[in-house]
Amino acid sequence: MTINNQQPTTNISISLVWRRLLAFTGLAVITGLLVILTNMQSFAISPSSPSTPHLPNSLPLPQPHLLPPTLTRWQDTTNSGDYFSQVTPTPVGYLVWSEFPVKVYIETPQTIAPKQAQAWVNSVLQAVHEWNAYLPLQVVEKREVADITVIRKNPPLQKLPNSNIPRARSAQTTYDFYSNKNILYHRVTILLSPSQTGQYLLAAARHELGHALGIWGHSQLQSDALYFSQVRNPPPISARDVNTLKRVYEQPTSLGWTLQTRASSKSFRSLLKSKIQNGLPYS
């Protein structure tokens, strides 16, 4: 009888030990899983990549401006089409001027003979005159008041995509942003290589002014002034060039509109300092 009474007690003791052991093991497993899951979550949460652009919240919401009268009146009777699909928006929308006339400063070269310098200026003036038929332009005498500045200077060498070999350019256009009275504006600088003369200088000036006025891209047809490379017989401004320009000015942009907040954030100051370029390579 004594033996029969002790056996269940022993079994109960063993059972209790196993249950405690299982409970302790389960607690350890759960704790381990929680640690693993917590670590997985922390590894999954990572800051944004530094290469990802973040535009400041102070930028104006993109809106279209009214077309200038010259583009409003423009009608293409030849139905030549356009190459608007090749135009790239900038970080603030399309590169549209909102105040007219757009002021152009042409820097007189100082390193060549006066007669050559005047011939150079005259070629650039001719290009300005041609574009003035489609967008109001005004040549100014002071660089500090200019929207577009044209300089006779070699553009820096540029590396082609997927290549480490620098390539010379016959011309280059860059833009940068600034604010005035809390309105977002931009200014443009055009560099024309000293090697460009005659009809090729005129063609380069015509091409780069097209970029400066808003066509931030290239045509695939040699019959357009904004063709991506130089050609033997440079074409004048084509109907396709003007059609493309008109479509650009129908697009929304943040340029020319009031900033939502004061331009004081680091990200906005960085945007103001950014310089983006487009150019015409040697053919």
Read off the pLDDT of residues 149-191 as tens digits, 9 standing for 90 and up. 999 999 998 776 676 777 778 999 999 999 999 999 999 999 9
Q: Shortest CA distance to 207 belongs to which of 252, 173, 162?
A: 173
Alpha helices in the chain (DSSP H): 2-44, 69-73, 114-132, 198-213, 239-249, 266-273
Q: Which residue has the higher pLDDT, 281 or 74?
A: 74
C-alpha count within 13 angstroms, C-beta hemisphere, residue 118: 3
Q: Which residue has the higher pLDDT, 102 or 32?
A: 102
Question: Which burial class, exposed, middle or buried, applies to 162 when counting CB atoms under 10 A from its CB (0-12, 13-18, 19+)?
Answer: exposed
Band (133; pLDDT cuts 50, 70, 90): very high
* pLDDT in the model for residue 158: 76
Sign of CA dihedral 183, 72, 81, 203: negative
Q: Which residue has the higher pLDDT, 105 or 27?
A: 105
**Buried-state track 203-239, b at ≥16 Cβ within 10 A, e below 16:** bbbbbbbbbbbbbbbbbeeeebbbbbebeeebbebbb
How far apart, in whole angstroms, are the C-alpha atoms of residue 140 and residue 82?
A: 31
* pLDDT in the model for residue 189: 97
* pLDDT in the model for residue 55: 54
What is the signed CA dihedral for 179, 130, 228, 51, rounded to 10 degrees? 0
**Beta strands 169-180 and 276-281: pairing type?**
antiparallel
* pLDDT in the model for residue 168: 77
* pLDDT in the model for residue 78: 95
* pLDDT in the model for residue 21: 52
The rounded percent of the chain whose pLDDT value lies above 70 is 71
Alpha helices in 104-216 (DSSP H): 114-132, 198-213
How far apart, in whole angstroms, are the C-alpha atoms of residue 251 and residue 245?
A: 10
Read off φ and ψ for residue 27, nearest 5 degrees.
-60, -40
* pLDDT in the model for residue 1: 39
Across the beta sheet with 169-180, the strand order is 137-140, 102-106, 148-152, 183-192, 169-180, 276-281
Q: Shortest CA distance to 64 belongs to which of 260, 272, 255?
A: 255
Of 2-11, 56-65, 89-98, 176-185, the least confident: 2-11
What value does the mean pLDDT take over residues 204-228? Answer: 97
What is the signed CA dihedral for 230, 82, 249, 150, rounded to 10 degrees? 10
* pLDDT in the model for residue 206: 98
* pLDDT in the model for residue 52: 31
**Beta strands 148-152 and 102-106: pairing type?**
parallel
| CB 103 within 8 Å of CB 149 | no
How far apart, in whole angstroms, are the C-alpha atoms of residue 120 and residue 115?
A: 9
How far apart, in whole angstroms, are the C-alpha atoms of residue 20 and residue 33?
A: 20
* pLDDT in the model for residue 157: 86
* pLDDT in the model for residue 39: 32
Q: Shortest CA distance to 192 belongs to which of 222, 149, 134?
A: 149
pLDDT tens-digit series, residues 234-279: 999 999 999 999 999 999 999 999 998 765 555 555 665 555 666 5
What value does the mean pLDDT take over residues 41-54? Answer: 30
